[in-house]
Structure 1
Amino acid sequence: MASLGLTLALAVLSGCTSAGSGQRGTPGGGGAGATESARTYGYGPANDKSIKYQPDVVIVEGGPNAVRSATGDGLTWTIDGKARGASDIKPGKVMYATSRAVGRVVDLQRAGDDIAVTLAPVTLTEVFRDAHFTIDRAIDESALVYQEIPDLPAAVTIPAQPRNKTEPIAYTGGAGADQTETVLALHPIRLGPGSKRPMPLAREANSTVAVGDWEVQPYRSSGNLGLKVGYKANENLKVFVDFSMKVDKLRIRSDVSISNGTIGSRSTFALDGIKSMAVDIAAGAANGADDNKKIRVEVPVEINIPIPGEPLMYSNTWKFIVTTALGGKNATLTAGGEWALDGLIGMVDGSLVTPVLSVTKSIMDSITGLSIGVSGIVFAVECKVQFGIGIPAAFAGPYAKLVVDLGVTNGSALGAPLARCIGAALDAKVGGGFGFNLSSDKLKALQALLPKTVKFELERETLAPFFQRKQTLPDVPLCTGPA
């Protein structure tokens, strides 16, 4: 899949260290307990003398109360023109009003007494010259809030064709692969400039949102974080995928230092407490191959927690790819599995750490369905947890992410008298970094929306596999091919 981007917003807790000086902070005050404007726009810069900003950063005082609105793509922010610091905003400067309303100014327009400011993405080091962010925070998933970005740039794309078109599960590019893709302008996603639709206020309850012909729902429940994906645009094709992670005592551990505009090489950002992951898949096609679909989605909903007194905020985002290859009329395919995870996910002392994976419920035991031809489905997902600042399209700061590619196949019913062949492939990766890392299609979309003079300073990330396995049953030449 192309790099997925999801924003898990993380919660308030007891015993947290504050960002900036590393001293004890005051727990509480963020997430569901915050005001509507703070939940939506984040809090203002921290009043911490240990933090030094870059010389071109303009601080706008007033925090979320100085923000009037934001456009549905998260690029243009209307702020109170009378707020202290607003008169210093100029193209080329970096505006910092809240943890979301921060970026390099590329356009400035008066709107009565207010100012509409269009922002380009900035990295953490374009904002902070010297800072030290130390966090050891438990995450209360019940405090997460949901922020929809209805016009998120490049939210919907078509994945590149697999090289081997004869293989039903040949596409295994996964959430982290940089594939060439075609951007779709599907309702309600509008990728053109000048969006008039405002960014909605954050909400406490999750809900299903439409992305083209698909429906997506990032969710949290007691002890679970997950993503549900469905296709119900017509009666000919049905697809449902539920990817979930069981969590227990979920925590963020971060120790990120910035000195003279450079992030320390031994910085830490890791997620602890993900105990397992599970997936359930069900698909059916009335007309077989004629109904097959493929889509890549950067989910236009973030799960966020702004924390008062901290200059950054927690965020969780999701990306996924679905490719169906159902063969024959009235084809069906179902499968489900679960895998235990043990260990941290992310970066510790500058090095990537990965968990140990073990099978709890074998997906091979669950593959079933009927079709005249061979049927398959590929689902790739990326869950990203981040602590940072910036516009929704390019949130900047330390992050950890889990990337999972799963493909299943079910053999033709015509071969059942000899052997019904089933197969599955699982590829799991962990990624981490300290800036923003954009997929190629999102980068192109942002470049189309912003002036051509805007340059993007992308950060490199570390991404490594920690589990790879393929299996085909029964182990006979009819299913596995010649030896």
Structure 2
Amino acid sequence: MNRRRVLAALLVGCLLAAAGCGNATTSAGDATKGPSADDDLRYGAAPTPDDSVKLQPDVVVVGGGGRSIRSVTADGLSWRIDKNAAHADDLAPGKVMFITERGVGRVLDIATAGDDLLVTIGPVDITEVIRDGTFERANVPLGEAVVYPAGEPFWADEKPATPGSYGRSVPRGLRGPLPTLDQPTQPGVQRGGDTATHALGYTVYPTCCTNGAGAHFSYDDGGVRLVGTVTLTTRRPDARFHLAIGAGKVNRAELTISGGFGIKAEFQAGIQDGKNHKKTFPIAADLSFPIGAIAGIPLSFTVSQTLSVTTAFGAKVGTIKGAGEFSLAGSLGFGYADGTFGPHVTTDFQRKSSLLNSLSGVPVGVMGLVIEHGVRFTVGISAFLFKAGVYFELTTKYGVTLGSALGAALAECRGTAIGVHAAFGVGYSILDPVVKVINSFLSLLKPFKVINIPPIKNSGGIQSTSEIYSNEEVIPKASICGQAPT
């Protein structure tokens, strides 16, 4: 069996297995019925013809919507569809498949399996789908989200947890197993069920959106334990947006999310003969609010999150603990017109509870921790890895240090650094680890392709950035204490 057949066989096996290869969701469909509300909820609504919108010429609108979809891998990368659906035979590598609002992407590979087609897609910018059209809506409520868990990321190299090996160098008062860490609490955290996601050793429970968008995370592997909660807090949020596209270019774009925003973090960490790590990953769940069709194009308001954790423990044993909350802004958003961006953020930064004063623990050496939490609001199309549209992303980075207890006679050093940055625009962005895996897949297929598809990029479209807030505090004011990590 040649390499091409091996790849096709792997893809067939993936999509045939309901419980494997990304936890695919399956539905047999019914060719005698139109898409049902259940189909729309599972796979997204289908586009409908509208004279006010013109699609790009290489877009293939596959008929039947959710009725024509048999299954999709949880990461949204591979779709199994009815090969007899209208226009399905027009699909080919390089074309753009548009079957539902969640099933939109550049076709990277296509294979036949009985009466079905197995279609692997990559990202597209919304201007690669829409050539001409104007979309707008106000007062979009962001209450209870529809959660689409994406299982374990296909690109993550998971390693099983192993017990730590505790040596004789551990001080007498900290000998034995790692300390038990309390679980930080956060109103609205959904524990258990399908809302748990896993990546790179972390277990994460995403939350959204009545009281905020956030995540509770935990890690326990090889002598390092971490638990925490990060939240972009809100009060009854809603949104409005405007997007005008002409001749495949963005002429005007606006997005505003209102409701009052704050940031909140709570964490505990412990190490005993473990190793420091830095891990960055998307939280594998879409938190979606269907908007409905505008000019025949089904759109959703989607909240997605990323998490990055970097440990900087300066000894083989120690603990650190802290919590803080701050008000941030009344509204978040941006405007774009005539090639110029303008952030629309009504900043109101105030301390509600001090992260600096809360720092405590038993640090035999310097204990440092950096937690970065990104929340992206997107109005647009497609799912999980490949969302494209109008977006505003807020990223908050918390850096904390707690000086060694062995140096407490000179100074008990504590430091915090908080930075809040915004990225906004029209398009898409994908984390580098995901891009590398997809491009490796494309390189394997390259010898068998008539059409050469270039490697995908980690971002597309137009974008701008802005610093919202930045501050650093270190106590006491002594040269021995230095600065907090960033």
Interval containing the TM-score (normalised by the shorter chain): 0.7 to 0.9
For 1:354 and 1:431, the matched residues in 2 are separated by: 12
Q: Which residue is 1:224 aligned to?
A: 212
| Aligned-pair CA distance for 1:121 | 1.6
Q: Which residue is 2:302 aligned to?
A: 315
| Aligned-pair CA distance for 1:221 | 6.5
Amino acid at match of 2:453: V
| Aligned-pair CA distance for 1:153 | 5.0
Gaps of 5+ in 1: 1-33, 157-183, 189-202
Of stretches 306-315 and 125-134 in structure 1, the one that deviates more from structure 2 is: 306-315
Q: TM-score, normalised by structure 2?
A: 0.77
Instruction: Point out the structure with max Rg over C-alpha.
Output: 2
Q: Which residue is 2:78 aligned to?
A: 76
**Correspondence for 2:259 among 273, 278, 301:** 273
**Correspondence for 1:441 among 433, 443, 466:** 433
Amino acid at match of 1:267: A
Check conservation: 2:149, 2:195, Cα contact below 8 A: no
Check conservation: 2:279, 2:308, Cα contact below 8 A: yes
Matches within 5 A, 1:444-455: 444-450=436-442, 451-452=445-446, 453-455=452-454
Amino acid at match of 1:86: A
Check conservation: 2:149, 2:194, Cα contact below 8 A: no
For 2:152 and 2:99, the matched residues in 1 are separated by: 22
| Aligned-pair CA distance for 1:65 | 1.7
Q: 1:114 to 1:306 in 2, by over 3 A?
A: farther
RMSD of equivalent CA atoms: 2.5
For 1:468 and 1:388, the matched residues in 2 are separated by: 30
Amino acid at match of 2:290: P
Per-residue CA distance 1:125-176 (angstroms, 9 max, x = gap) = 111111111021332422x12212235454x4xxxxxxxxxxxxxxxxxxxx
Specify which structure has the higher proportion of strand: 2
Gaps of 5+ in 2: 1-35, 162-190, 447-451
Matches within 5 A, 1:383-462: 383-450=375-442, 451-452=445-446, 453-455=452-454, 456=456, 458-462=460-464
Q: Which residue is 2:325 aligned to?
A: 338
- Give the 3-state SS of the residue equivalent to 1:443 in structure 2: helix
Q: TM-score, normalised by structure 1?
A: 0.77
Q: 1:281 to 1:185 in 2, by over 3 A?
A: closer
| Aligned-pair CA distance for 1:205 | 6.4
For 1:204 and 1:354, the matched residues in 2 are separated by: 35
- Give the 3-state SS of the residue equivalent to 2:376 in structure 1: strand
Per-residue CA distance 1:291-318 (angstroms, 9 max, x = gap) = 4332112122211233433422222211
- Give the 3-state SS of the residue equivalent to 1:445 in structure 2: helix
Matches within 5 A, 1:293-372: 293-310=277-294, 311-349=298-336, 350-356=341-347, 357-372=349-364
For 2:110 and 2:209, the matched residues in 1 are separated by: 42
Q: Which residue is 1:247 aligned to?
A: 234
| Aligned-pair CA distance for 1:473 | 0.2
Q: 1:428 to 1:285 in 2, by over 3 A?
A: same
Check conservation: 1:375, 1:410, Cα contact below 8 A: yes
Q: 1:137 to 1:388 in 2, by over 3 A?
A: same
Q: 1:151 to 1:447 in 2, by over 3 A?
A: farther
What is the number of equivalent residue pairs in this alignment?
A: 401
Check conservation: 2:142, 2:239, Cα contact below 8 A: no
Which stretches of structure 1, 4 residues or longer, exceed 6 Å deviation after superposition? none
Check conservation: 1:245, 1:274, Cα contact below 8 A: no
Amino acid at match of 2:401: T
For 1:313 and 1:292, the matched residues in 2 are separated by: 39
Per-residue CA distance 1:399-452 (angstroms, 9 max, x = gap) = 111101111001111222232010001111011010012333332222112355
Amino acid at match of 1:416: A
Amino acid at match of 2:151: P
Q: 1:152 to 1:50 in 2, by over 3 A?
A: farther
Of stretches 421-430 and 460-469 in structure 1, the one that deviates more from structure 2 is: 460-469
Q: 1:423 to 1:392 in 2, by over 3 A?
A: same
Q: 1:375 to 1:204 in 2, by over 3 A?
A: closer
For 1:385 and 1:206, the matched residues in 2 are separated by: 22
Of stretches 413-422 and 396-405 in structure 1, the one that deviates more from structure 2 is: 413-422
Amino acid at match of 1:417: A
| Aligned-pair CA distance for 1:187 | 7.8
Q: Which residue is 1:283 aligned to?
A: 269
Check conservation: 1:93, 1:105, Cα contact below 8 A: yes
| Aligned-pair CA distance for 1:250 | 0.8
Check conservation: 1:367, 1:422, Cα contact below 8 A: yes
